[in-house]
Structure 1
Amino acid sequence: MARIPSVHTLHDGDWYLFDYGMVISDAPAAADWDRLHEATGRPMDDAGSTYWAHRHAFDAGSLESTGYWAAVLDRAVEAAEAERLDRLDARLWSRLNPRTVEVLQALQARGSHLALLSNMPVRMSEIFTAEATWSAFFERLFFSGPLGLGKPDRRIYEHVLRELGVDGSDVVFIDDKSENIEAARELGLRAVHHVPGIDLAAELGL
Protein backbone atom coordinates (compact mmCIF):
# COMPACT_ATOMS: atom_id res chain seq x y z
CA MET A 1 0.00 0.00 0.00
CA ALA A 2 1.22 3.50 -0.79
CA ARG A 3 2.67 5.54 2.03
CA ILE A 4 0.08 7.81 3.66
CA PRO A 5 1.27 11.44 3.83
CA SER A 6 1.72 13.03 7.24
CA VAL A 7 -1.15 15.09 8.61
CA HIS A 8 1.36 17.94 8.83
CA THR A 9 1.95 17.88 5.04
CA LEU A 10 -0.98 20.15 4.18
CA HIS A 11 -1.87 21.69 0.84
CA ASP A 12 -4.44 24.14 -0.48
CA GLY A 13 -7.69 22.28 -0.99
CA ASP A 14 -7.15 19.82 1.86
CA TRP A 15 -10.21 18.92 3.94
CA TYR A 16 -10.47 18.23 7.66
CA LEU A 17 -13.11 15.56 8.19
CA PHE A 18 -14.34 15.31 11.80
CA ASP A 19 -16.32 12.66 13.62
CA TYR A 20 -18.92 13.98 16.07
CA GLY A 21 -19.40 11.72 19.11
CA MET A 22 -16.47 11.78 21.56
CA VAL A 23 -14.57 14.14 19.25
CA ILE A 24 -16.72 17.26 18.97
CA SER A 25 -19.01 16.07 21.74
CA ASP A 26 -17.93 15.01 25.20
CA ALA A 27 -19.27 11.93 26.95
CA PRO A 28 -22.81 12.30 28.30
CA ALA A 29 -23.09 13.35 31.93
CA ALA A 30 -24.84 11.17 34.50
CA ALA A 31 -27.71 13.69 34.62
CA ASP A 32 -28.28 13.22 30.89
CA TRP A 33 -28.54 9.46 31.26
CA ASP A 34 -30.85 9.98 34.23
CA ARG A 35 -33.30 11.98 32.09
CA LEU A 36 -33.47 9.14 29.57
CA HIS A 37 -33.87 6.64 32.40
CA GLU A 38 -36.77 8.64 33.83
CA ALA A 39 -38.46 8.81 30.42
CA THR A 40 -38.10 5.11 29.64
CA GLY A 41 -38.06 3.44 33.03
CA ARG A 42 -34.83 1.68 32.04
CA PRO A 43 -31.16 2.39 32.69
CA MET A 44 -29.40 3.00 29.39
CA ASP A 45 -25.80 3.84 30.19
CA ASP A 46 -24.53 0.30 30.75
CA ALA A 47 -22.58 -1.10 27.80
CA GLY A 48 -24.89 -4.14 27.71
CA SER A 49 -28.13 -2.14 27.68
CA THR A 50 -30.71 -2.35 24.91
CA TYR A 51 -29.81 1.26 24.02
CA TRP A 52 -26.47 0.01 22.71
CA ALA A 53 -27.63 -3.41 21.48
CA HIS A 54 -29.62 -1.84 18.63
CA ARG A 55 -27.57 1.30 18.13
CA HIS A 56 -25.58 0.38 15.04
CA ALA A 57 -28.73 -0.45 13.09
CA PHE A 58 -30.28 2.84 14.21
CA ASP A 59 -27.17 4.84 13.28
CA ALA A 60 -26.97 3.14 9.88
CA GLY A 61 -30.60 3.87 9.03
CA SER A 62 -31.75 0.24 9.21
CA LEU A 63 -34.16 1.18 12.02
CA GLU A 64 -36.40 4.22 12.08
CA SER A 65 -37.02 6.00 15.38
CA THR A 66 -40.21 4.14 16.31
CA GLY A 67 -38.58 0.80 15.50
CA TYR A 68 -35.44 1.59 17.45
CA TRP A 69 -37.19 2.73 20.60
CA ALA A 70 -39.62 -0.20 20.37
CA ALA A 71 -36.61 -2.54 20.29
CA VAL A 72 -34.99 -0.69 23.19
CA LEU A 73 -38.15 -0.76 25.33
CA ASP A 74 -39.54 -4.09 24.08
CA ARG A 75 -42.96 -2.59 23.41
CA ALA A 76 -44.78 -0.55 20.80
CA VAL A 77 -43.73 3.11 20.56
CA GLU A 78 -45.80 5.75 18.80
CA ALA A 79 -44.36 8.64 16.80
CA ALA A 80 -44.92 11.29 19.48
CA GLU A 81 -43.08 9.26 22.12
CA ALA A 82 -40.28 8.46 19.68
CA GLU A 83 -39.85 12.18 18.98
CA ARG A 84 -39.62 12.91 22.71
CA LEU A 85 -37.02 10.18 23.16
CA ASP A 86 -35.10 11.34 20.09
CA ARG A 87 -34.91 14.81 21.63
CA LEU A 88 -33.57 13.36 24.89
CA ASP A 89 -31.13 11.26 22.90
CA ALA A 90 -29.83 14.35 21.07
CA ARG A 91 -29.50 16.18 24.38
CA LEU A 92 -27.48 13.23 25.67
CA TRP A 93 -24.81 13.91 23.04
CA SER A 94 -24.95 17.71 23.10
CA ARG A 95 -22.13 18.42 25.55
CA LEU A 96 -19.31 19.86 23.46
CA ASN A 97 -15.61 19.26 23.94
CA PRO A 98 -14.25 22.80 24.36
CA ARG A 99 -10.77 21.82 23.15
CA THR A 100 -12.16 20.51 19.86
CA VAL A 101 -14.30 23.62 19.47
CA GLU A 102 -11.13 25.72 19.82
CA VAL A 103 -9.51 23.64 17.06
CA LEU A 104 -12.54 24.13 14.81
CA GLN A 105 -12.41 27.87 15.44
CA ALA A 106 -8.71 27.98 14.59
CA LEU A 107 -9.18 25.98 11.39
CA GLN A 108 -12.14 28.10 10.34
CA ALA A 109 -10.19 31.31 11.01
CA ARG A 110 -7.46 30.27 8.62
CA GLY A 111 -9.93 29.31 5.90
CA SER A 112 -9.59 25.53 6.07
CA HIS A 113 -12.21 23.28 4.49
CA LEU A 114 -14.21 21.49 7.19
CA ALA A 115 -16.57 18.54 6.83
CA LEU A 116 -18.20 16.15 9.26
CA LEU A 117 -18.75 12.39 8.99
CA SER A 118 -20.72 10.91 11.86
CA ASN A 119 -22.53 7.70 12.64
CA MET A 120 -25.83 9.26 13.68
CA PRO A 121 -29.50 8.35 13.30
CA VAL A 122 -31.70 10.33 10.93
CA ARG A 123 -33.72 12.32 13.44
CA MET A 124 -30.71 13.29 15.54
CA SER A 125 -28.89 14.47 12.42
CA GLU A 126 -31.90 16.61 11.52
CA ILE A 127 -32.05 18.14 15.00
CA PHE A 128 -28.36 18.97 15.09
CA THR A 129 -28.25 20.31 11.52
CA ALA A 130 -31.14 22.66 12.24
CA GLU A 131 -30.37 23.67 15.81
CA ALA A 132 -26.76 23.00 16.89
CA THR A 133 -24.31 25.91 16.78
CA TRP A 134 -21.41 23.59 15.92
CA SER A 135 -22.93 22.66 12.55
CA ALA A 136 -22.06 26.13 11.23
CA PHE A 137 -18.35 25.26 11.26
CA PHE A 138 -18.79 22.79 8.41
CA GLU A 139 -19.15 23.19 4.68
CA ARG A 140 -20.48 19.65 4.34
CA LEU A 141 -22.25 17.34 6.78
CA PHE A 142 -22.40 13.57 6.20
CA PHE A 143 -24.49 11.35 8.48
CA SER A 144 -24.77 7.57 8.41
CA GLY A 145 -28.53 7.42 9.01
CA PRO A 146 -29.64 9.39 5.95
CA LEU A 147 -26.95 7.67 3.84
CA GLY A 148 -27.92 4.16 4.95
CA LEU A 149 -24.24 3.40 5.56
CA GLY A 150 -22.10 3.51 8.67
CA LYS A 151 -18.44 3.66 9.53
CA PRO A 152 -16.27 1.63 9.21
CA ASP A 153 -17.90 0.50 5.93
CA ARG A 154 -15.50 1.72 3.25
CA ARG A 155 -18.43 2.76 1.06
CA ILE A 156 -19.26 5.69 3.34
CA TYR A 157 -15.72 7.03 3.02
CA GLU A 158 -15.84 6.54 -0.75
CA HIS A 159 -19.12 8.46 -0.85
CA VAL A 160 -17.59 11.36 1.08
CA LEU A 161 -14.54 11.49 -1.19
CA ARG A 162 -16.76 11.55 -4.29
CA GLU A 163 -18.92 14.30 -2.85
CA LEU A 164 -15.91 16.40 -1.89
CA GLY A 165 -14.23 15.69 -5.22
CA VAL A 166 -10.89 14.81 -3.65
CA ASP A 167 -8.55 11.88 -3.14
CA GLY A 168 -8.04 10.26 0.24
CA SER A 169 -4.64 11.91 0.60
CA ASP A 170 -6.36 15.31 0.48
CA VAL A 171 -8.31 14.56 3.68
CA VAL A 172 -7.30 14.64 7.35
CA PHE A 173 -9.78 12.45 9.24
CA ILE A 174 -10.31 12.71 13.01
CA ASP A 175 -12.22 9.93 14.81
CA ASP A 176 -12.23 8.25 18.22
CA LYS A 177 -12.70 4.63 17.09
CA SER A 178 -9.70 2.61 15.96
CA GLU A 179 -11.73 0.57 13.45
CA ASN A 180 -12.88 3.78 11.74
CA ILE A 181 -9.32 5.10 11.65
CA GLU A 182 -8.05 1.86 10.09
CA ALA A 183 -10.77 1.85 7.43
CA ALA A 184 -9.98 5.46 6.53
CA ARG A 185 -6.27 4.78 6.25
CA GLU A 186 -6.92 1.88 3.90
CA LEU A 187 -8.39 4.44 1.49
CA GLY A 188 -5.41 6.77 1.90
CA LEU A 189 -6.92 9.30 4.28
CA ARG A 190 -4.53 10.88 6.77
CA ALA A 191 -6.10 9.90 10.05
CA VAL A 192 -5.74 11.15 13.62
CA HIS A 193 -6.98 8.85 16.37
CA HIS A 194 -8.78 11.06 18.89
CA VAL A 195 -7.90 9.33 22.16
CA PRO A 196 -8.52 10.68 25.70
CA GLY A 197 -6.05 13.43 26.57
CA ILE A 198 -5.02 14.12 22.97
CA ASP A 199 -3.65 17.56 22.11
CA LEU A 200 -5.54 17.79 18.84
CA ALA A 201 -4.18 21.23 17.99
CA ALA A 202 -0.63 19.87 18.23
CA GLU A 203 -1.52 16.77 16.22
CA LEU A 204 -2.82 19.00 13.44
CA GLY A 205 0.15 21.35 13.61
CA LEU A 206 -1.88 24.35 14.74
Structure 2
Amino acid sequence: MKAVLFDMFGVIARVQSPESMAVLERTAGADPDRFWAAYWSERPPYDRGEVTGPGYWQAVFAHLGISPDRRLTEELTAADLRSWSEIDRRMVDLLGRLADQGLVLGLLSNIPEDLAARYEATQPWLERFAVRGLSCRIGSAKPEPAAYEWCVRELGLPPEEILFVDDRAENVDAARRLGLQGHVFTSEEELRVALEAALT
Protein backbone atom coordinates (compact mmCIF):
# COMPACT_ATOMS: atom_id res chain seq x y z
CA MET A 1 0.00 0.00 0.00
CA LYS A 2 1.36 3.38 -1.04
CA ALA A 3 -1.73 5.59 -0.81
CA VAL A 4 -4.90 5.91 1.23
CA LEU A 5 -7.99 7.29 -0.48
CA PHE A 6 -10.44 8.64 2.10
CA ASP A 7 -14.14 9.30 2.06
CA MET A 8 -15.04 12.55 3.85
CA PHE A 9 -18.44 12.28 5.53
CA GLY A 10 -18.75 9.50 8.06
CA VAL A 11 -14.97 9.14 8.19
CA ILE A 12 -13.20 12.49 8.63
CA ALA A 13 -16.27 14.67 8.95
CA ARG A 14 -19.32 13.54 10.86
CA VAL A 15 -22.67 12.76 9.28
CA GLN A 16 -25.68 14.91 10.12
CA SER A 17 -26.66 14.79 13.78
CA PRO A 18 -30.29 14.34 14.90
CA GLU A 19 -30.19 17.94 16.13
CA SER A 20 -29.03 19.34 12.79
CA MET A 21 -31.57 17.22 10.95
CA ALA A 22 -34.32 18.58 13.19
CA VAL A 23 -33.26 22.14 12.32
CA LEU A 24 -33.62 21.35 8.62
CA GLU A 25 -37.05 19.80 9.18
CA ARG A 26 -38.28 22.80 11.17
CA THR A 27 -36.89 25.25 8.63
CA ALA A 28 -38.60 23.46 5.75
CA GLY A 29 -41.84 23.18 7.70
CA ALA A 30 -42.67 19.93 5.94
CA ASP A 31 -43.48 16.42 7.05
CA PRO A 32 -40.08 14.90 8.03
CA ASP A 33 -40.51 11.71 6.00
CA ARG A 34 -41.53 13.62 2.88
CA PHE A 35 -38.76 16.16 3.42
CA TRP A 36 -35.98 13.57 3.62
CA ALA A 37 -37.35 11.60 0.67
CA ALA A 38 -37.19 14.80 -1.41
CA TYR A 39 -33.81 15.83 0.06
CA TRP A 40 -32.08 12.59 -0.89
CA SER A 41 -33.84 11.91 -4.18
CA GLU A 42 -32.59 15.24 -5.57
CA ARG A 43 -29.12 15.04 -4.03
CA PRO A 44 -27.18 13.16 -6.76
CA PRO A 45 -27.32 15.95 -9.39
CA TYR A 46 -26.35 18.48 -6.69
CA ASP A 47 -23.40 16.32 -5.60
CA ARG A 48 -22.24 15.90 -9.21
CA GLY A 49 -22.34 19.65 -9.83
CA GLU A 50 -25.15 19.40 -12.37
CA VAL A 51 -27.32 21.90 -10.45
CA THR A 52 -26.55 24.81 -8.14
CA GLY A 53 -27.72 25.09 -4.55
CA PRO A 54 -30.82 27.14 -5.45
CA GLY A 55 -31.63 24.69 -8.24
CA TYR A 56 -31.36 21.79 -5.81
CA TRP A 57 -33.71 23.38 -3.30
CA GLN A 58 -36.20 24.30 -6.04
CA ALA A 59 -36.34 20.62 -6.97
CA VAL A 60 -36.89 19.70 -3.30
CA PHE A 61 -39.65 22.32 -3.04
CA ALA A 62 -41.32 20.85 -6.13
CA HIS A 63 -41.44 17.43 -4.45
CA LEU A 64 -42.97 18.98 -1.35
CA GLY A 65 -45.42 21.23 -3.15
CA ILE A 66 -43.77 24.37 -1.73
CA SER A 67 -43.55 27.54 -3.82
CA PRO A 68 -39.92 28.60 -4.49
CA ASP A 69 -38.87 31.18 -1.91
CA ARG A 70 -35.50 32.95 -1.86
CA ARG A 71 -35.40 33.49 1.90
CA LEU A 72 -36.33 29.87 2.63
CA THR A 73 -33.73 28.69 0.11
CA GLU A 74 -31.04 30.73 1.86
CA GLU A 75 -32.08 29.47 5.30
CA LEU A 76 -32.12 25.83 4.19
CA THR A 77 -28.77 26.20 2.44
CA ALA A 78 -27.19 27.63 5.59
CA ALA A 79 -28.70 24.93 7.81
CA ASP A 80 -27.63 22.22 5.37
CA LEU A 81 -24.03 23.45 5.30
CA ARG A 82 -23.89 23.58 9.10
CA SER A 83 -25.29 20.05 9.31
CA TRP A 84 -22.28 18.63 7.44
CA SER A 85 -19.54 20.72 9.10
CA GLU A 86 -18.60 18.83 12.26
CA ILE A 87 -15.08 17.36 12.08
CA ASP A 88 -13.57 14.33 13.87
CA ARG A 89 -10.32 15.82 15.18
CA ARG A 90 -8.85 12.37 15.84
CA MET A 91 -9.13 11.58 12.16
CA VAL A 92 -7.52 14.88 11.21
CA ASP A 93 -4.63 14.02 13.54
CA LEU A 94 -4.36 10.59 11.90
CA LEU A 95 -4.11 12.22 8.48
CA GLY A 96 -1.15 14.21 9.72
CA ARG A 97 0.60 11.11 11.03
CA LEU A 98 0.04 9.21 7.79
CA ALA A 99 1.38 12.09 5.72
CA ASP A 100 4.44 12.30 7.98
CA GLN A 101 5.04 8.58 7.32
CA GLY A 102 5.24 9.31 3.60
CA LEU A 103 1.91 7.84 2.53
CA VAL A 104 0.14 9.59 -0.33
CA LEU A 105 -3.31 10.77 0.72
CA GLY A 106 -6.34 11.19 -1.51
CA LEU A 107 -9.91 12.27 -0.91
CA LEU A 108 -13.02 11.04 -2.72
CA SER A 109 -16.17 12.74 -1.49
CA ASN A 110 -19.74 13.07 -2.66
CA ILE A 111 -20.07 16.78 -1.96
CA PRO A 112 -21.89 19.73 -3.57
CA GLU A 113 -19.99 22.86 -4.59
CA ASP A 114 -21.42 25.00 -1.78
CA LEU A 115 -20.10 22.60 0.84
CA ALA A 116 -16.77 22.03 -0.95
CA ALA A 117 -16.12 25.78 -0.99
CA ARG A 118 -16.98 26.02 2.72
CA TYR A 119 -14.51 23.26 3.59
CA GLU A 120 -11.74 24.78 1.49
CA ALA A 121 -12.24 28.13 3.22
CA THR A 122 -12.24 26.74 6.76
CA GLN A 123 -10.26 23.46 6.88
CA PRO A 124 -6.53 23.86 6.19
CA TRP A 125 -5.94 20.12 6.71
CA LEU A 126 -7.38 19.55 3.22
CA GLU A 127 -3.91 20.51 1.98
CA ARG A 128 -2.74 17.12 3.25
CA PHE A 129 -4.43 15.50 0.25
CA ALA A 130 -2.36 15.18 -2.90
CA VAL A 131 -5.57 14.42 -4.82
CA ARG A 132 -9.06 15.72 -4.07
CA GLY A 133 -11.82 13.97 -5.97
CA LEU A 134 -14.82 16.13 -5.18
CA SER A 135 -17.89 14.83 -6.95
CA CYS A 136 -19.15 18.32 -7.82
CA ARG A 137 -15.96 18.94 -9.79
CA ILE A 138 -15.17 15.57 -11.34
CA GLY A 139 -18.73 14.99 -12.58
CA SER A 140 -19.22 11.59 -10.98
CA ALA A 141 -20.04 10.30 -7.52
CA LYS A 142 -19.56 7.11 -5.54
CA PRO A 143 -20.33 4.34 -6.18
CA GLU A 144 -20.01 5.17 -9.90
CA PRO A 145 -16.82 3.56 -11.29
CA ALA A 146 -15.76 6.83 -12.94
CA ALA A 147 -15.31 8.49 -9.55
CA TYR A 148 -12.75 5.90 -8.42
CA GLU A 149 -11.08 5.77 -11.81
CA TRP A 150 -10.54 9.53 -11.73
CA CYS A 151 -8.77 9.26 -8.37
CA VAL A 152 -6.63 6.31 -9.45
CA ARG A 153 -5.46 8.24 -12.54
CA GLU A 154 -4.66 11.32 -10.47
CA LEU A 155 -2.81 9.33 -7.82
CA GLY A 156 -0.73 7.69 -10.57
CA LEU A 157 -0.58 4.34 -8.80
CA PRO A 158 -1.86 0.84 -9.59
CA PRO A 159 -5.26 0.30 -7.93
CA GLU A 160 -3.92 -2.52 -5.76
CA GLU A 161 -1.51 -0.07 -4.08
CA ILE A 162 -4.38 2.17 -2.93
CA LEU A 163 -6.50 1.56 0.17
CA PHE A 164 -9.98 3.09 -0.04
CA VAL A 165 -11.68 3.95 3.26
CA ASP A 166 -15.42 4.67 3.42
CA ASP A 167 -18.17 4.19 5.99
CA ARG A 168 -20.54 2.69 3.39
CA ALA A 169 -19.98 -0.93 2.41
CA GLU A 170 -21.48 -0.41 -1.06
CA ASN A 171 -18.86 2.24 -1.80
CA VAL A 172 -16.03 0.03 -0.58
CA ASP A 173 -17.37 -2.90 -2.63
CA ALA A 174 -17.39 -0.69 -5.75
CA ALA A 175 -13.75 0.23 -5.14
CA ARG A 176 -12.75 -3.40 -4.66
CA ARG A 177 -14.38 -4.34 -7.97
CA LEU A 178 -11.94 -1.94 -9.62
CA GLY A 179 -8.95 -3.54 -7.90
CA LEU A 180 -8.46 -1.18 -4.95
CA GLN A 181 -7.99 -2.43 -1.42
CA GLY A 182 -10.93 -1.51 0.81
CA HIS A 183 -11.78 -0.85 4.43
CA VAL A 184 -15.28 -0.18 5.78
CA PHE A 185 -14.77 2.53 8.39
CA THR A 186 -16.32 2.06 11.81
CA SER A 187 -13.83 3.82 14.09
CA GLU A 188 -10.43 5.51 14.11
CA GLU A 189 -9.07 2.66 16.27
CA GLU A 190 -10.12 -0.08 13.83
CA LEU A 191 -8.75 1.90 10.91
CA ARG A 192 -5.36 2.21 12.61
CA VAL A 193 -5.25 -1.57 13.02
CA ALA A 194 -6.15 -2.06 9.36
CA LEU A 195 -3.49 0.43 8.26
CA GLU A 196 -0.82 -1.29 10.33
CA ALA A 197 -1.76 -4.62 8.77
CA ALA A 198 -1.68 -3.18 5.26
CA LEU A 199 1.75 -1.64 5.81
CA THR A 200 3.39 -4.84 7.09
TM-score, scaled to structure 1: 0.81
Distance 1:45 1:24 in 2: 27
Aligned partner of 1:162: which letter?
R
Partners of 2:36 and 2:80 lie apart in 1 by: 17
Q: Match of 1:68?
A: 56
Deviation per CA, 1:171-201, whole angstroms, max 9, x where unpaired?
Answer: 1110111221111111111111113686111
Q: Where do 1:1-206 residues align within 5 Å?
A: 10=1, 14-42=2-30, 48-74=36-62, 75-78=67-70, 82=73, 84-195=75-186, 199-205=190-196
CA distance in 2, matches of 1:118, 1:45: 25
CA-CA distance at 1:143 after TM superposition:
0.8
Distance 1:43 1:114, change over 3 A: farther
1:60, CA displacement in angstroms? 2.1
> Structure 2 length as normaliser, TM-score?
0.83
Ranges in structure 1 where 5+ consecutive residues have no aligned partner:
1-9
1:41 to 1:47, Cα distance in 2 relative to 1, 3 A: closer
Unaligned runs of 5+ in 2: none
3-state SS, counterpart of residue 117 of structure 1: strand
Instruction: Indicate the RMSD between aligned Cα atoms, in angstroms.
Output: 2.5
- The verdict on how the C-alpha distance between 1:117 and 1:83 changes in structure 2, with shifts beyond 3 A counting, is farther
Q: Return the offset for 1:49.
A: 2.9
Deviations 1:52-111 (A, max 9, x none): 221222212233211210122233254x76455333222111112244223213212323
- In proportion to residue count, which structure has more helix? 2
Change (3 A) 1:65 1:89: same
What's the offset of the Cα at 1:26? Answer: 1.9
1:16 to 1:196, Cα distance in 2 relative to 1, 3 A: closer
CA distances 1:135-180 after superposition (whole Å, capped 9, x unpaired): 2332221111122211111111111111222210121110111221
User: What is the percentage of aligned positions where both structures have the same residue?
Assistant: 32
- How far, CA to CA, are the matches of 2:114 and 2:38 in structure 1? 19
Distance 1:199 1:45 in 2: 34
